[in-house]
Structure 1
Amino acid sequence: MFFGTYTPKIDDKNRLFLPAKFREQLSEGLVVTRGQERCLTIWSLEDFTKLTERLAQAPVTNKATRDYVRMLFAAASQEVPDKQGRISIPPMLKDYASLQKDVVVIGSMNRIEIWDPQAWASYSEEQEQVFSELSDEVFPGI
């Protein structure tokens, strides 16, 4: 499980230092790809395989399925962290999420998201009120 907010940097060679708390879970490899809201998503290989298996069951005759699969897989990059816990961020993905040197890395249950700091601040601010009102929709009857 991934949780917390971290502010590592991307170096001049487009490498990101993964937060130390995430490294062990990702030591065997990971997949970084597009996420929604113009962030990047990092999946462990195990969870990306599970996602792939679920998507393989979706009907290819459904246009939304085809569109989602294309966007997700066309940008996907399999990485293995180096001994310092760094991974490469492909230029296409860096551009997609408007990432520069400073980034925000958040744990989001079974995945990690990488955000441009301004985009994360704006998104967080917009969602703050919505979050406080969602508990009944997310956890009905609690």
Structure 2
Amino acid sequence: MFFGTYTPKLDDKGRLFLPAKFRDELAEGLVVTRGQERCLTVWSLADFSRMTDRLREAPVTNKATRDYVRMLFAAASQEVPDKQGRIGIPATLRDYASLTRDVMVIGAMNRVEIWDPQSWATYSEEQEQKFAELSDEVFPGI
């Protein structure tokens, strides 16, 4: 499980040091691709495979399925962390998420998200009140 917020930097070659707490779970490899809200999503190979299996079951005749699959897989990059725990972030994905040197890396349960710091700050601020309100909807009766 991934949780926490970290502030690593991209190096000059577009590589990112994964937070140490995430490295064991991603050591065998990972997939980085577009996420929602213009962030990047990092999946372990096992979780990406499970998601792929579910998408295979979706009807290809459904336009929303085709659109989603195209956007997800066209940008996907399979990576294996090097001995220092770095992964490459392809230029197209860095551009998509407006990543420069500073980044925010957040744990989001079964995935890792990589954000531009300003985008994350804006999103976080906008969601703060909703977060408080959603607890009753997400966890009714607790």
Q: How far is the alpha carbon of 1:28 from its aligned partner? A: 0.2
Identity over aligned residues, as a percent? 82
For residues 137 and 65 of structure 1, the distance between their equivalents in structure 2, rounded to whole angstroms, comes to 27
Verify: 1:86 aligned to 2:86, yes or no.
yes
5+ long unaligned stretches in structure 2:
none
Q: How many residues align?
A: 142
What CA deviation, in whole Å up to 9, does each residue of 1:74-95 have, x standing for no partner?
0000000000000000000000
Q: How far is the alpha carbon of 1:141 from its aligned partner? A: 2.3
For residues 131 and 18 of structure 2, the distance between their equivalents in structure 1, rounded to whole angstroms, comes to 27
Q: How far is the alpha carbon of 1:12 from its aligned partner? A: 0.1
Question: Which portions of structure 1, spanning 4 or more consecutive aligned residues, are displaced by more than 3 angstroms?
Answer: none
SS in 2 for 1:50: helix
Counterpart position of 1:116 = 116
Counterpart position of 1:5 = 5
Q: How far is the alpha carbon of 1:139 from its aligned partner? A: 1.2
Q: TM-score, normalised by structure 2?
A: 0.99
1:14-29 correspondence runs (5 A): 14-29=14-29
What CA deviation, in whole Å up to 9, does each residue of 1:87-110 have, x standing for no partner?
000000000000000000000000
Counterpart position of 1:49 = 49
For residues 61 and 24 of structure 1, the distance between their equivalents in structure 2, rounded to whole angstroms, comes to 39
Q: How far is the alpha carbon of 1:116 from its aligned partner? A: 0.1
For residues 88 and 135 of structure 2, the distance between their equivalents in structure 1, rounded to whole angstroms, comes to 37
Cα root mean square deviation, aligned:
0.4
Q: TM-score, normalised by structure 1?
A: 0.99
For residues 58 and 22 of structure 1, the distance between their equivalents in structure 2, rounded to whole angstroms, comes to 30
